[in-house]
Structure 1
Amino acid sequence: MHSERDAPLTGTTAGRAHAPGTSAAKARRWGSFYYAEHVLRVFRGYAMSILLYSVGMPVAYLFAMGVGLATLVDANQAAAFGGVSYLAFIAPALLVSAAVMTSSGEFSYPVMAGFKWRRTYYGPHASPLVPQQIAVGHIMAVTLRLLFQSAAYLGIMALFGASPSPWGWVSIPVATLSGLAFGLPLMAYSASLKQDKGQFALVQRFIVTPLFLFSGTFFPLDTLPLAVRWIGWISPVWHGTELGRVFSYGYDEDPLLTIGHVVFLLACAGVGWTLTQRCFVRRMGT
């Protein structure tokens, strides 16, 4: 007489494992979501740090600017910022910059760790998951983090009165897209590296920091000399910041330029998305 545990695994009874063929079919269909779940579980391990970064940083920046520097600027240069307070002017830029900085962290060292230090990409690849699914799953998880962080940042901006427009919520997807526009090309670059020779430190010092300082974050871009103004023109931070200001407080901008910002960010993210998947396939095979 056969016991119940000797019965074949059909995948139809609650509490039983799926048959190998069923598991493989589900992995081929939902593999990106499975890997995204893995990355989100990793995030849970340092959730407190993520929460403090998402809430503590905007509180510190906005308090310093709103109570400190903005008081001096509004008293002397109010007309220079389109009739809005200095706090309202810089808040969208800080929101976008925070997303870009988070993206630069999540798409650099963790990607190299997946290939070289911890080799966390190769375990899922031993299953039916293909490299493209692993790459997309990583991107999906980081995108969710950017959305959460940007929503928290915008909520704090609203408490400070730095987002007066009812369309301010659009700043959340704008900041997220800006983070991906910078982060996905960086992810492709990270996936192509086989040795750590300080490349990521150079990216932070000579790319991320200049983009933060010279992308119209603290003052209008057209107040900079032409010799450095081009940095803003090619910067996802500037394009995202300008979009954020349009939706955050109704910044007066040519609609064609607004469309141009969106196209630029989508193009950067799209190119990064494609190159990242190609790099993952090249590193791990099909």
Structure 2
Amino acid sequence: MRRYGGTLLVGAIGSPLLYLLGLGLGLAAVIDATVADGANGPVDYVTFVAPALLVTAGVSVTQEEFTYTVMGGFKWHKTFFAINASPVSPRQLLGGMVLAVTFRILLVTGVYYLAIVLFGAVDRPLLGALTVLTGALAALAFGLPLLAYSASLTEDKGQFALVQRFIFMPLFLFSGTFYPLTTLPVYLQWIGWISPVWHGAELGRVLSYGAPTPGRLVVVHVGVLVALAVVGGTIAGRTFTRRLR
């Protein structure tokens, strides 16, 4: 990752600034209705969307790293086969890759969090810092199942473009990112219920401004994210082992 570290850093800083400028100084300026309540009463629009944008930034990292990079490791550059020729096992290879990507996720979500603090979009800065961790968990909950899917592919036939258009974008748009999930028609709310973006965003809202959320729902949010990450990582481990052994 050091070879394109500058690009990663620019993306990590530039993306949150553009989103927050567009939403915090643009869209928020024309929204005068109360969108959500926090521990201290109504919160402004940028405070509401900031935790969801942080999660989306982390998820975007996994979409980059766990798609074409995996295809390259197995097919185009065969990097994984070269590593597998050493004493490194397939599961160790997978673990190293996930650790590296997790580090990048933490960097991106950490920079994003600093940006939203500077924009005054966090009511509880100390507790809100935990959104960096919950954002990373949400990113892995999305990314590890995607990694398992990518590892199972032997040919690139546009599958990753379909993932971008028909999975990532709907999750981004219909996961309560820009408005409360309850404002959607019931027949669309199920997208949020299964979305790591929504579960991660709701946890972030609890931490950053004290969104009124029952304790049992917080447990559900964490449980769903952990379950998705564990199942995805387990399947990915088996797929790596099968293809490299």
1:177 aligns with 2:137: yes
1:48 aligns with 2:6: yes
Deviation at residue 255 of structure 1 after TM alignment: 0.5
CA distance in 2 between partners of 1:46 and 1:128 (Å): 27
Gapped regions of structure 1 (runs ≥ 5): 1-42
CA distance in 2 between partners of 1:108 and 1:163 (Å): 33
1:99 aligns with 2:58: yes
| SS at structure 2 position matched to 1:89 | helix
CA distance in 1 between partners of 2:44 and 2:127 (Å): 18
CA distance in 1 between partners of 2:36 and 2:133 (Å): 24
Deviation at residue 164 of structure 1 after TM alignment: 1.7
Read off the aligned partner of 1:96 and give its amino acid letter.
V
The equivalent residue for 2:213 is 253
The equivalent residue for 2:108 is 149
1:231 aligns with 2:186: no
1:160 paired residue among 102, 119, 142: 119
Read off the aligned partner of 1:129 and give its amino acid letter.
V
| SS at structure 1 position matched to 2:129 | helix
Read off the aligned partner of 1:223 and give its amino acid letter.
T
CA distance in 2 between partners of 1:149 and 1:57 (Å): 9
After superposition, what is the alpha-carbon deviation per residue over 1:43-80, rounded to whole angstroms, capped at 9, x for unaligned? 1111111111110010111011111111111x2x12x3
Deviation at residue 105 of structure 1 after TM alignment: 1.1
Deviation at residue 169 of structure 1 after TM alignment: 0.5
Gapped regions of structure 2 (runs ≥ 5): none
After superposition, what is the alpha-carbon deviation per residue over 1:68-116, rounded to whole angstroms, capped at 9, x for unaligned? 111111x2x12x3221000000000000011111111111110110000
The normalised TM-score by structure 2 is 0.97
The equivalent residue for 2:99 is 140
CA distance in 2 between partners of 1:248 and 1:55 (Å): 20
Structure index of larger Rg? 1
| SS at structure 1 position matched to 2:79 | coil
Q: What is the aligned-residue RMSD (CA, Å)?
A: 0.7
The equivalent residue for 1:202 is 162
Deviation at residue 213 of structure 1 after TM alignment: 0.1
Read off the aligned partner of 2:211 and give its amino acid letter.
Y
After superposition, what is the alpha-carbon deviation per residue over 1:248-268, rounded to whole angstroms, capped at 9, x for unaligned? 111110010001000000000
How do 1:182-197 residues align onto structure 2 when only pairs under 5 Å count?
182-197=142-157
Give the share of equivalent positions with the same residue, in percent: 50
Deviation at residue 227 of structure 1 after TM alignment: 1.0
Runs of 4 or more consecutive aligned structure 1 residues displaced over 3 Å after TM superposition: none
CA distance in 2 between partners of 1:67 and 1:183 (Å): 31
CA distance in 2 between partners of 1:196 and 1:57 (Å): 28
CA distance in 1 between partners of 2:244 and 2:62 (Å): 23
CA distance in 2 between partners of 1:53 and 1:163 (Å): 22
Read off the aligned partner of 1:211 and give its amino acid letter.
L
The equivalent residue for 1:67 is 25
CA distance in 2 between partners of 1:182 and 1:219 (Å): 21
Deviation at residue 124 of structure 1 after TM alignment: 1.2
